[in-house]
Amino acid sequence: MGMNTNGNPVLTTTVEAFEKLINWGRANAVWPFQFGLACCAIEMMATASARFDLARFGAEMMRASPRQSDLMIVAGRVSQKMGPVLRYLYDQMLEPKWVIAMGDCSSCGGVYNNYAVIQGVDKIVPVDVYVAGCPPSPDNLLYGFMKLQEKIAKDHPLRSQKVLKELKTL
């Protein structure tokens, strides 16, 4: 999708207003995909439950189907065997989609510096937010999630990459 506004100021403001609306919708309705792999998953569950309550940000709709979810929280170390599965599920998610690498292991391999574990999930899928910690506490994940919301709010869903590049050079 892309839209060329040709420098028309009225059109540009309208497109910007629409983009803001879309971004607002996307940022406040991020449905996570259940992808707990190891100990971090326990902290992820804690984030969704009573004390921390991810639901406040409209993100408690944990969907089991990749087709209906927007955010993959990779919670735990990704073994070499899990890698292809993770990539497969990521490909099955519908655009736009985001990934949070939760914990040291999924960010960079963490303590598992060996042949069996993929050294950072960003080797197979693009990661938007890295959350440090082993495991990160729920408030860390919440902070990462809010960072992701900020990132989504800065997106330009209606403008093509070419136009964005031109805007930057101006």
Partner 1 sequence: MGSPPILAVLAVIVAKALVVIVVLLTAFAYMTWLERRLISRFQVRIGPNRVGPFGLMQPLADGIKLFFKEDFVPAGADKVLYYLAPGLAMVTAFTAFAVIPFGPPDVQLFGVPLFQISNPNAGILFVLAVTSIGIYGIILGGWSSNSKYSLLGALRSSAQLISYELGVGLAIVGVVLLAGTLQLPEIVKEQSGFFFGFLPRWNIFVQPLGFLLLLIGATAETNRPPFDLPESEQELVAGFHTEYGGMKFAAFFVAEYVNVITASGVATTLFLGGWQGPFVDQFPILGPLWFVVKIFAFAFFFIWIRATLPRIRYDQLMDVGWKLLVPLALLNLAITSVIVLIWPSLGGGS
Under the rule (CB under 8 A), what is the footprint of partner 1?
21-22, 24-30, 34, 49-50, 53, 55-58, 60-61, 63-65, 67-68, 70, 94-96, 157
Backbone angles phi and psi of 82, in degrees to 5: -80, -20
Tell the smallest beta-carbon distance from residue 142 to partner 1 (Å). 12
Tell the smallest beta-carbon distance from residue 4 to partner 1 (Å). 19
Q: Which CB sits closer to partner 1, 85 or 111?
A: 85
Task: Indicate if the alpha-carbon torsion angle 43, 48, 49, 51 is positive or negative.
Answer: positive
Tell the smallest beta-carbon distance from residue 166 to partner 1 (Å). 23
Which 8-state DSSP code applies to residue 63? Answer: B
Q: Which CB sits closer to partner 1, 66 or 76?
A: 66
Q: Indicate the helix (H) or strand (E) that contains 20.
A: helix 9-28
Q: Which CB sits closer to partner 1, 52 or 112?
A: 52
Calculated CA dihedral for residues 104, 106, 109, 111, nearest 10 degrees: 40
